[in-house]
A and B are shown apart, each in its own frame.
Chain A
Amino acid sequence: MDISGLERYLNNQYNSLYGFAYILVPDELQASQICIDSISSFLLECKDLVSDFLDDKSVNQEIKIKLYQFVYNLSVKRDVQLTTLSTENRNSSFFYQLDINKRGIIYLRDRSQLLLSEIELIVGRRNYEIINDYELAKNLVQLKEQRPL
């Protein structure tokens, strides 16, 4: 595969990466910048994976997980910076009042449909912690949104 194949692949991944970044840091510009920074870090730090991809090896899912990992780590850092700068919450939905880890886990599990083992790699936590956070957050959102269950 050539570099243009990699460019196409990254462009295809952009929407889901942006969605994930926005869930974590709900701001258009911040989310888009986090995605670009993540892609840039990935290209610099994961040269082996990039060359495997260019050699036509099936590493698509591995690359996807790595990209999500970069987005998650950068977003957590950015979230800390932003909360120290301002406490204003731009989004009124209760979902965004959950803490960043819980939002990330819900998105990865229910929107991106990733496996628990893959989510473990991305957020760097144990599976029982992830399940616990997921169930807790789900119950909270459902209670707060007050929809018929």
Chain B
Amino acid sequence: MSEACIFSSNIILAKKYPESYNLLKKHLEDCCLCQKEIEKIDRDESTWFEMIPCPAPSDIIKSAAQREIHELTKNLIKHSPSESKNKKLSVKEFILKKVLPFNR
């Protein structure tokens, strides 16, 4: 069985919450067993990170998405309140200019 320090069990929490584990900081820096444990934990973390896939879109998909997003946000302009206000005004103008003269 390999040697271990009793404080090694606190390393993960000490890394996560350094303020709460301030008293242990000096020990963790000086103790060679704890230092070995820290190295092992760091190694495990980086190995784990490599195991998680990180898919990225291809250039074709990305440019297609950019076009789609452009269309979607363009539609947002069409349906924005200021735009519909303009539309209402033009209808009003239409009535005043085209419809009313015939009814007079």
Q: Interface residues, chain A, CB within 8 Å of chain B?
A: 3-4, 6-7, 10-11, 14-15, 18-19, 22-23, 26, 28, 31-32, 35-36, 39-40, 43, 50, 93, 95-96, 106-107, 110-111, 138, 141-142, 145, 147-149
Task: Give the distance in Å from the alpha carbon of A141 to the alpha carbon of B44 in the complex.
Answer: 13
Residue from the list B51, B58, B73 in contact with A10, Cβ < 8 A: B73
Given A43-B76, A50-B76, A147-B47: A10 in contact with B69 (beta carbons within 8 A): yes
Q: Interface residues, chain B, CB within 8 Å of chain A?
A: 44, 47-49, 51-58, 61-62, 64-66, 68-70, 72-77
State the Cβ distance, A50 to closest chain B Cβ, in Å.
7
Residue from the list B48, B52, B53, B66 in contact with A11, Cβ < 8 A: B66
State the Cβ distance, B85 to closest chain A Cβ, in Å.
15
Task: Give the distance in Å from the alpha carbon of A40 to the alpha carbon of B79 in the complex.
Answer: 14
Q: 4 smallest A-B Cβ distances: which pairs?
A: A22-B55, A7-B73, A18-B57, A32-B61
A-B contact count (CB 8 A): 83
B69 close to A32 (CB less than 8 A) = no
B51 close to A142 (CB less than 8 A) = yes
Task: Give the distance in Å from the alpha carbon of A36 to the alpha carbon of B73 in the complex.
Answer: 12
Taking CB atoms, residues of chain B closer than 8 Å to A148 are: 47
State the Cβ distance, A22 to closest chain B Cβ, in Å.
4
Taking CB atoms, residues of chain B closer than 8 Å to A39 are: 68-69, 72
Residue from the list A4, A26, A28 in contact with B58, Cβ < 8 A: A28
Please, which residue of chain A has its CB at the minimum distance from the CB of B67? Answer: A36
Given A14-B57, A111-B52, A145-B51: A36 in contact with B65 (beta carbons within 8 A): yes
A141 close to B51 (CB less than 8 A) = yes
Task: Give the distance in Å from the alpha carbon of A111 to the alpha carbon of B66 in the complex.
Answer: 23
Supplied contacts A36-B65, A142-B48, 10 more A-B pairs, CB within 8 Å = A3-B77, A7-B73, A14-B65, A19-B54, A19-B55, A22-B53, A36-B72, A107-B52, A147-B47, A147-B51
